[in-house]
């Protein structure tokens, strides 16, 4: 097919972004089907290793999204996650892995439109970046 359709995995927190995505659904807003969601209790629960596993599994892009600061259902999970991502992005960039393929955001339970926009924007950005060849060329893929 002419255009490259990126595969994107979204790690989202149950209380805000997952509920926001539900709202996008109940509002019948349309967005790209290239993104699938994995539910976590909180962004604090998202292990950086899982992002590596997503790329190793063939994902071209990753979205990580949860409650806005101060809105976390568990009060501080998103703050810990934010610190983790600051360090992790510094490492990935240093290792030559393109951090533009990992999109971090805060989407609340009331922001259905923002979820649709986040998905579409990320799909377009990753479509421009093309398939994650650098990662897929790594020998040893498929053993998982």
Partner 1 sequence: MARIGVFVCHCGENISATVDVARVASEAAKIPGVVHSVDYKYMCSDPGQQLVKAAIQEKGLTGVVVAACSPRMHEPTFRRACAEAGLNPFLCEMANIREHCSWVHEKGEATTHKAIDIVRTLVAKVKKNRALQPIKVPVTKTALVLGGGIAGIQAALDIANAGHKVILVEKEPSIGGHMSQLSETFPTLDCSQCILTPRMVEVAQHPNITLHSYSELEGLDGFIGNFKARIRRKARSLDEKLCTGCGLCTQKCPLRRIPSEFDAGLGLRPAIYVPFPQAVPNKPVIDREHCTYYRTGKCRLCEKVCPTQAIRFDQPDEIVEADVGAVVVATGFDIKHADFFPEYGYGKYKDVIDGLQFERLASASGPTLGEIRRPSDGKVPETVAFIACAGSRDPAKGIEYCSKICCMYTAKHAMLYRHKVHHGRPVVFYMDIRAGGKMYEEFVRRAMEEDGVQYVRGRVSRIYERGGKLVVKGADTLLGARPVELEADLVVLATAGVAQPGAEDLAQRLHVSYDAHRFYAEAHPKLRPVETNTAGIFLAGACQAPKDIPESVAQASGAAAKVGALFSQSELVREPLIAVVDRQAPPVYSSCSGCFLCQGACPYQAIKREEIRGRDGQLIKTVAKVNPGLCQGCGTCVALCRSKSIDIQGYSHEQVYSEVLALLNRGERDG
Partner 2 sequence: MEALRNKARELLAAGTVKVVIGYGRGSGGAARAVFIRDAARSGALIYDDSCRQNLAVYLMKPEVRRLGKAALVASPATLRTVLQLAAENQVPEGGLLLLAPAGGEVAVLAELSAVEARVAAQDQDLGRAEREELARYEAMTLEQRRDFWQEQFARCIKCYACRAACPLCYCARCTVECNQPQWIPVPAHDLGNLEWNVMRAMHLAGRCVDCGDCSRACPAGIPLHLLNRRLIAVVRESFAVQAGRSAKSDNALSTFKPDDPEDFIR
> Given the rule CB under 8 A, which residues bind partner 2?
48-49, 52, 56, 69-70, 76, 79-80, 82-99, 104-106, 134, 138-141, 143-144
Q: Is 84 in the site for partner 1 (CB under 8 A)?
A: yes
Q: Which residues contact 114 (CB under 8 A, 6 or more apart)?
A: 20, 105, 107, 108
Return the one option of partner 1, partner 2, none that residue 104 interacts with (CB less than 5 to 8 A, by type). partner 2
DSSP annotation of 3 reads S
The residue within the footprint of partner 1, chosen from 3, 95, 139, 142 (CB under 8 A), is 142
Q: Classify residue 67 as exposed, middle or buried by CB count within 10 Å of its CB (0-12, 13-18, 19+).
A: buried
Considering only the stretches 34-42, 85-93, 94-102, 131-139, report the one whose residues sit in contact with partner 1 under the rule CB under 8 A: 34-42
């Amino acid at each position: 097919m002419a255009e490259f359709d990126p595969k994107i995995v979204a790690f989202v927190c149950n209380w805000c972004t997952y509920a926001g995505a539900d709202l996008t659904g109940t509002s019948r807003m349309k967005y790209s089907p290239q993104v699938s969601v994995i539910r976590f209790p909180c962004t604090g629960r998202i292990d950086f290793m899982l992002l590596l596993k997503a790329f190793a599994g063939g994902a071209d892009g990753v979205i990580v999204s949860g409650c806005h600061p101060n809105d976390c259902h568990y009060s501080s999970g998103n703050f810990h996650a934010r610190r983790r991502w600051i360090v992790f992005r510094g490492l990935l960039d240093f290792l030559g892995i393109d951090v533009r393929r990992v999109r971090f955001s805060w989407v609340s339970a009331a922001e259905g439109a923002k979820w649709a926009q986040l998905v579409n924007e990320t799909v377009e950005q990753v479509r421009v970046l093309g398939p994650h060849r650098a990662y897929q060329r790594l020998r040893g893929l498929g053993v998982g």
